[in-house]
Amino acid sequence: MGESTHTATRETLARLPSGTKIETMVHTYTGSKDGPTVYLQAAQHGREVNGAEVLRRLHNEIVDADLAGKVIAVPVADPLTFDHVSYITPEQLDPVNPNMNRVWPGDANGSVHERMAARLWDHAHTADVIIDLHTGSPNMLPHVVALEGHTDSLELGRVFGTGLLLTEQAHAAASEEWHRRSFGGKLRVAAIEDEIPSITPELAYSKQIVEDAVEIGVRGILNVLRHLGILDEPLTDTGPQTLARNHLGRIVASDSGLFRSNPDLTVGSTVESGMFLGTLYDPTTYEPLQTIRADRDGILYVLTQEATIIMGEALANIAEPYDSQN
């Protein structure tokens, strides 16, 4: 029997005006036996560092394992945002498409981010499964997003095993907000259009490595590899999971000010329509500007703790479990 191999290749994704290369590392783990290919990436948004740490620890788990198939892993998909510890790239570097996760599958002759996405798509489109690791914000319940009605992607989400699995409507079925925010250019959407099952784990937290979030990510990917037969091991029991809708169920600030959330609530709490979530007020006059209340029954999976708020920012997200809709 042969042995599995690991290679790490530094690849050029695009170039800056000075000619400086924008490079990243692509890790490939090739099994000794035939099997499916999984493409993994992290840090499209550079402040979301837990995904990169997930892939580092996953490396230690699989580099000497006897694999069937192939795993392709890109720990830093967007070096530009990673170096700036930012969500999007500075306007000077890509004024057309500052958010890389809005341009998939990319364009080899397009803007900087389109070229970067196109280069990584050369690897991603060869896969049988795509997992795009994100980490949202510190005020978020870890969850997985999958396309509503796409059976294979939903099954991956169940296997990955976060306590909350959110479904996303796309294209004609999607809301105006989905189109306005150009979600059609997300990697998971491009993947499914190419008939590749795909999920986006949102592990929570940013700018810091948080053990709980990293452990969820490593455990989830290992479970997917076991499910696909790439690893010959039993799946880890991840406990109960709630399937819910309203990936874009956001409550936004109607004005700018300071926000004090309800101290009795935490993400993961079950809320009822009308429940008090917090108060937005003017810090200079103490005048209440907006009383934030739940707009539906469901699971509170985001409740911001960042107090200084600009009008239009999201203050809370509520997902509706499918069972509650029956």
- pLDDT tens, residue by residue, 66-103: 999 999 999 999 999 999 999 999 989 999 999 999 99
pLDDT at 247: 66
Does the pLDDT value for residue 3 go beyond 90? no
Quickly state the pLDDT bin for 52 (edges 50, 70, 90). very high
CA distance 225 to 55: 13
Rg, C-alpha atoms of the chain: 20
**Residue 251's beta-bridge partner residues?**
316
Q: What span, in angstroms and rounded, lies between the C-alpha atoms of 222 and 232?
A: 11
Torsion of CA 176, 182, 187, 193, to 10 degrees: 60
Residue 133 near residue 54 (C-beta atoms within 8 A): yes
Task: Tell me the two tokens of residue 188.
Answer: 């998971």
The C-alpha torsion from 95 through 101 and 105 to 111, rounded to 10°, is: 10
pLDDT digits (tens, 9 = 90+) for 212-257: 999 999 999 999 999 999 999 999 999 999 999 976 778 999 999 9
Q: Which letter, b or e, does each residue of 231-262 get, where b requires 16 or more Cβ atoms within 10 Å of its Cβ?
A: beeeeeebeebbbbbbbbbebebeeebebebb
Give 19: exposed, middle or buried? Use CB within 10 Å, 0-12, 13-18, 19+: exposed
Report pLDDT for 25.
Answer: 98
pLDDT tens for 96-142 read 999 999 999 999 999 999 999 999 999 999 999 999 999 988 889 99
For residue 181, what pLDDT is reported? 85
Residues pairing with 291 in the sheet: 279
Burial string for 167-178 (b: 16+ CB within 10 Å, else e) reads: bbbbeeebeeeb
**Which are the contacts of 53, defined by CB distance < 8 A and separation ≥ 6?**
209, 214
* Other beta carbons within 10 Å of 219: 16
Q: pTM score, two decimals? A: 0.95
Closest CA to 131 of 46, 218, 39: 39
Number of DSSP helices (H) and strands (E) in the chain, helices first: 7, 17
Residue 195 pLDDT: 97
Whether the per-residue pLDDT at 326 is higher than 60: the answer is no
For the chain, the average pLDDT equals: 94
Residue 104 one-letter amino acid: W
Max alpha carbon distance in the chain (Å)? Answer: 75
pLDDT of residue 32: 95
Over residues 149-194, the pLDDT tens digits come to 999 999 999 999 999 999 998 888 888 888 888 899 999 999 999 9
**Amino acid letter for position 117:** A
Cβ of 141: how many Cβ atoms within 10 Å?
21
pLDDT reported for residue 248:
76
Sheet of 308-309: strand order equals: 288-293, 276-281, 257-261, 308-309
The pLDDT value recorded for residue 180 is 86
Shortest CA distance to 205 belongs to which of 16, 37, 49, 55? 49
Q: Mapping DSSP to helix (H, G, I), strand (E, B) and coil, where does residue 76 land?
A: coil
> Does the pLDDT at position 325 exceed 70?
no
What is the C-alpha separation between 202 and 51, in angstroms, rounded? Answer: 9
Average pLDDT over residues 34-54: 97
